Amino acid sequence: MTDPQAIQPSALDQLPDRDPEETAEWQASLDAVAKAAGPHRAAYLMRRTLERAEGNGIALPKLLETDYVNTIPTAAEPSAPGDEEMERRITAWNRWNAAAMVTRGSKHGVGGHIATFASAAWLYETGFNHFFKGKEADGSGDQLYIQGHASPGIYARAFLDGRLTEQHLDNFRQEAGGDGLPSYPHPRRLPWLWEFPTVSMGLGPLSAIYQARFNRYLTNRGIKDVSASHVWAFLGDGEMDEPESTAALALASREGLDNLTFVINCNLQRLDGPVRANFKIVQELEAQFRGAGWNVVKSLWGSAWDELFQLDTTGALVRRLREVPDAQVQTYQTRGAAYIREDFFGKDPALAELAKLLSDDKILECFHLSRGGHEARKVFAAYKAAVEFKGAPTVILAQTVKGHTLGEGFASKNANHQMKKLSVDEFKAMRDLLELPISDSQFVDGVVPYGHPGADSPEVRYLQERRAALGGPAPARRTHALAPLPAPADKTFASFDKGSGTQNVATTMAFVRLVKDLVRDKETGRRWVPIVPDEARTFGMESLFPSLGIYSPKGQTYEPVDRDQLMYYKEAKNGQILNEGITEAGSMADFIAASTAYSTHGEAMIPFYIFYSMFGWQRTADQMWQLGDQLGRGFLVGATAGRTTLTGEGLQHADGHSPVIAATNPAALSYDPAFAYEIAAIVKDGLRRMYGEAAPGEDQNVFYYLTVYNEPMPQPAKPSAPGVEEGILKGLYRFNTAESAGVEVAAANAPRIQLLGSGTAIHWVLKAQRMLAEEWGVASDVWSATSWTELRRDALEADAALLRGEERQPYVRRALQGAEGPVLAVSDYMRQVPDQIAQWVEQDWSSLGADGFGISDTREAARRHFGVDAESIVVAALAQLARRGEVKATAVKEARERYGL
């Protein structure tokens, strides 16, 4: 049977060989080396040759993996500035207080994590002492994405430099009293310290990439020069399994984001065991990042290994390090010298000979303690290489031991992520190891003390001097005293009040038209950030391409195929539109960066992100929680919304639930507008609240979610009745009555019903209003429910006020007060959406909605299937009135038969 590999054509076979004789000589040389010195030597020479070619700029495919050694040789390590012994003492205090804080909190059952910071302490401390720029530095300082489980170490450092007190530390994870510390980096809970929420794993690395990209966007568009800012993302090697962690690696390299550094703490453990038990996570990550075009720096081994590598004249040590799986490396961390001699060195005769030159103490020092991530000199060298590298982002793979310095009970144990405390004896052993001046007498009643060298101690002065030199404290979140943005001219919004006449306009198009007018505003137009994941033409946004341009750091290096058309595809270095391709997660990360620029950079930006509604909340809701935590502001727009409007797509592509999910997010103001003038009123008020003069007590740190539809319908004029504007914003107003709609009912005392509709459902309701009057003699008033969620929130606040002894009536009850007859609510979503307000409606309540999976068919057929079309509304209204004895029961049966229901 023919070997498949033998007939695979090589890429080189496609290229002409100008000198076959020379090629044969090179191949013969390689064969000779392999025969004389072995295949390992031949592989070594090939790797070094490829590295030389790469260094000389010769275009060759890159090596995806290098040896399991440090990228920066010891001889090439720069000398770190500062006082290394002083920094060791500072780090020791921070290690102690981080462990003490979590241990003391465990007495209250609140948990916490000790082992992560123990492994990563030097990764943070080296950055704080020498690299991380504060808010007073050039641009906006650096942006730090702190690994969530390392938060105790960050609190410990803030305690050392005087930003936190012992009381704060004692209230770790106990926030209800007001002086507590949140479990992880939560800007909404501790807004002066934390800038970026990161503990929902995978979102930190994704957001860091788009933050670095948005920094370039601000600079290239001339909004603010933040080219001096650097984005640092601290991640765990287990966290890299999250798909979001690596989702945007190619974007970072494609756009040359050398203002970005990932620091991956490779302690080889995830939450409950090894990250890659039978493999090597460092090598896997190196290949992944190198393949994506990143600069990779490995800092794996500490200085104790230098002697071993010098003794390795055959390369056997490097080969053995490449083949030992991670779980075995973890085992070496917990075993004695005899085991390591036999299992690690005993596998190769050359290594066995090398081991004879090593003492047991030397072996234990190397395998138990000496890691690249635990030595300031190694970390400094890696960081310096990262910030000096140009043309691509850098990832630092720093090997550490999870639970380092916490004692044998913690280090490299599978369960250490769940271990919340140290015993008194373990603390005393840790104290001795760290050489801290804490006496036994300070352990009162078995409670571990916090340690502090004193506010005027050399350690604290050094720490504060280093931070002052780097631009102030870090991490820190800045609250800028920004002047309110001037409101756009009223005529921009008022133009929608007159309606569209006989022209059919979908609310998606109405929103896009509004934005087109707003981005032309001389004062605030440049601050809009349109974000769309690929399908801009679906939403009618192609008209913005030539006028605003699509952002690209390279500009436009080609002639677009549609250049001769009016709405051609225009890319520009200062382009305003972020057209992301097919990535809702990336678009949300864009939105988060833009929506928080008011704090991160002191520049208020107005992002709107328009997307297929079913690919928003159901797909990226975790990022929307991240957005709320980070106090973002802007407009999310769920387009082609509703379960029955996106014809032919069906099942999961039909959104019948996004308002339900949006309602769960306290920072989201969710609206389902039916008409163009409602959209204009909501956007106008949103701009006022988030960017202008917020009313007393109004939280500016909110974002809006608007659902808009792709169903062209006539847009009516805004009713002139009083209270319409208030009703639009609060969530409900009477659009018309039977009388004002000109619907004639024969009987003077005809039965009456109140029909509530939201979004596109208002049109079925209006049709039902006519049918009820003309065919069944029933009068009905139609109400536009722009926000079921805001109505519910107002009612919940009213209930809470009553419990406090305050007299307050929910708006929905006030609006419907005196409305005659029962209430029937209709939306293009599951009934749970309108049912949010049922308990506060005094009238008899009933609702219709599109519950269940979506279905592929025409709009009319889909609405009949879900029972929300006009005919179904008529039958439901008659049934409700029949139960009250206001119409004959036979009318319901007759209607069903007439309409074929």
Could you tell me the two tokens for 753?
A: 């019903």
Could you read off the pLDDT of 201-219 as tens digits, one per residue?
Answer: 999 999 999 999 999 999 9
Degrees to nearest 5, angle at CA 549 with 545 and 550? 90
State the pLDDT at residue 1. Answer: 38
Question: ∠ at Cα 833 (855, 828), nearest 5°?
Answer: 35
How far is Cα 339 from Cα 336, in angstroms, rounded to an integer?
Answer: 6
Task: Give me the mean pLDDT over the 30-45 stretch.
Answer: 86
Question: Do the strands 394-399 and 295-299 form a parallel or antiparallel pair, or are they unpaired?
Answer: parallel
Q: Cβ distance 886 to 772 under 8 Å?
A: no
Q: Which of 110-114, 217-221, 370-374, 648-652 is the least confident region?
A: 648-652
pLDDT of 386 over the 90 cut = yes
* pLDDT tier, 8 (very low <50, low <70, confident <90, very high otherwise): very low
pLDDT score of 52: 85
Structure tokens at 309: 């590598």
Q: Go through 853-866 and write b for each residue having 16 or more CB atoms within 10 A of its CB, e for each that does not.
A: ebbeeebeebbbbb
Which ranges in 115-236 belong to alpha helices (H)?
A: 115-130, 151-160, 166-170, 203-220
* Through-space distance between the first and last CA atoms of the chain, rounded to whole angstroms: 67
Cα-Cα-Cα-Cα dihedral of 554, 559, 561, 565, to 10°?
Answer: 100
Question: How many CB atoms lie under 10 A from the CB of residue 288?
Answer: 16
The 3-state secondary structure of 755-808, one letter per residue: EEECCCHHHHHHHHHHHHHHHHCCEEEEEECCCHHHHHHHHHHHHHHHHCCCCC
Q: Which two tokens stand for residue 282?
A: 């460092």
Residue 606 has what DSSP assignment? Answer: E
Does residue 4 carry a pLDDT above 50?
A: no
Instruction: Please tell me the predicted confidence (pLDDT) of residue 272.
Output: 78
Residue 16 contacts by C-beta under 8 Å, 6 or more apart in sequence? none
Q: What is the mean pLDDT of the chain?
A: 93
pLDDT of residue 360: 96
Burial of 885 (0-12, 13-18, 19+ CB in 10 A): exposed
pLDDT at 242 over 90: yes
- The confidence score (pLDDT) of residue 417 equals 57
pLDDT band for 727, please (50, 70, 90 cuts): very high
CA 707 – CA 637 distance, rounded (Å): 6
Q: What percentage of the chain carries pLDDT values higher than 70?
A: 97
| Pairing between β-strand 550-551 and β-strand 571-572 as defined by DSSP bridges | parallel
- Mean pLDDT, range 771-798, rounded to an integer: 97
User: What pLDDT score does 54 carry?
Assistant: 77
Q: What is the pLDDT of residues 121-135, one digit of tens each?
A: 999 999 999 999 999
Q: Is the pLDDT score of 375 beyond 80?
A: yes
Q: Say what the pTM is.
A: 0.94
Candidates 863, 792, 856, 860; CA nearest to 829 is: 863
Share of the chain above pLDDT 90, in %: 80
pLDDT per residue over 249-264, tens digit each? 999 999 999 999 999 9
**Over the stretch 551-574, which tens digit does the pLDDT of each residue have?**
999 999 999 988 888 788 899 999
Confidence grade of residue 413 (pLDDT, cut at 50, 70, 90): low
Structure confidence by residue, pLDDT tens digits, 336-350: 999 999 999 999 999
Q: What is the pLDDT of residue 614?
A: 86
Residues 812/841, Cβ–Cβ less than 8 Å: yes
Alpha-carbon Rg for the chain in angstroms = 33
Contact of 628 with 703, CB cutoff 8 Å: yes
Q: Is the pLDDT of residue 94 over 70?
A: yes
Dump pLDDT digits (tens) for 319-334: 999 999 999 999 998 8
Is the pLDDT reported for residue 6 higher than 50?
A: no
Work out the average pLDDT over 270-296: 94
* Euclidean distance between CA atoms 551 and 293, whole angstroms: 21
CA distance 217 to 620: 23
Quote the CA–CA distance of 116 and 23 in Å, as a whole number: 52
Please state, in angstroms and rounded to a whole number, the distance separating the CA atoms of residues 589 and 597. 12
